[in-house]
Amino acid sequence: MGLFNRIGTLLKANINDLISRAEDPEKILNQLILDMKEQLIQAKKQVAVTIADEKRLKKQLDNELSKARDWEKKAMMAVRAGRDDLAREALSRKKEHDDLSSEFQKQWEAQKAAADKLRDSLRQLNAKIEEASRKKNLLIARKKRAEAQKTIQETMSGLSDTSAFDAFDRMSGKIEQMEAEAEASAELAEGFSGDDLAAKFDALEEDHGADEALMALKAKMGMGQEKKETQFDFEEEEVEEKETVSAKRGSWDSDEF
């Protein structure tokens, strides 16, 4: 029996643990508030019945008091009429109603005290339910905040594994390699293309444009004319030198003949 008891206890513990883990605090809190409100509705019905009984007893009390006063008036009327016999009977009826009114008075007072107590209890229950509803909203907000914090912590814990970052860096390096290869292919394509001659002429035009800009700058600085004159003198000396050489050749040719 001891073994079976231990097994039963273990099964109950496991079942309770599963139930505890399956419970959603938000759903449980909402259901508890619904149950409390249902209890409040039932309590209101009970209080309404008690209040109705109290009012009924009050009416019966007032009715007996009214009848007692009526028989008293009749007894007084009989006394004025000289009918003491009728006055005695009227007073006897009055006493009956007085006795009943005394009983109804006791019952009404007890019922009124119970109704007042139930009213207070009902107000307290309603206040507790309203307080529970406010706390429920606060607890749900705390639960959602805790879930968000847990999710963030789990995400951060997952990020501590560097394999994803290593793979990211590897892909980044691979893309850079692909870009470098694409640039190299473009350079090779330009080097072996049929437009190589056109590229050379483009470079020549760029150099010519740079020379013209340099000449314009030197002209602005007053250096262009001097260069021209120097070049002109050099050209004249070169012409004179050529003429001298030609003359000497002519002289050599005459001596030969």
User: d(Cα 229, Cα 239) in Å, to the nearest integer?
Assistant: 15
Q: Is 63 contained in some domain?
A: yes
Separation of alpha carbons 86 and 105, rounded Å:
28
In a domain, 17, yes or no: no
In a domain, 184, yes or no: no
Residue 38 lies in a domain: yes
| pLDDT in the model for residue 186 | 78
Q: What is the pTM of this model?
A: 0.45
Its domain, for residue 65, covers 25-145
Domain count, the chain: 1
Q: For residue 64, is it within any domain?
A: yes
Two tokens, residue 40 = 């409040």
3-state secondary structure of 190: helix
Q: What is the largest CA-CA distance in the chain?
A: 210
The pLDDT value given to residue 23: 67
The dihedral formed by the CA atoms of 119, 120, 122 and 127, expressed in degrees to the nearest 10: 140
Q: Is residue 81 part of a domain?
A: yes
Query: What confidence score (pLDDT) does residue 210 get?
Result: 66
In a domain, 182, yes or no: no
Are the CB atoms for 54 and 117 separated by under 8 Å?
no
Angle subtended at Cα 240 by Cα 238 and Cα 246, rounded to the nearest 5 degrees: 105
**Residue pLDDT tens, the chain, 257 long:** 455 455 555 555 554 554 455 567 778 888 888 888 888 888 888 889 989 999 999 999 999 999 999 999 999 998 998 888 998 999 999 999 999 999 999 999 999 998 999 889 888 888 888 888 888 888 888 878 887 888 877 777 766 556 666 777 888 888 888 888 888 887 777 665 555 666 666 666 666 666 777 777 778 787 755 554 555 555 555 656 656 655 555 554 544 44
Please tell me the predicted confidence (pLDDT) of residue 102: 92
φ/ψ (deg, to 5) at 222:
80, 15
88 domain residue, yes or no: yes
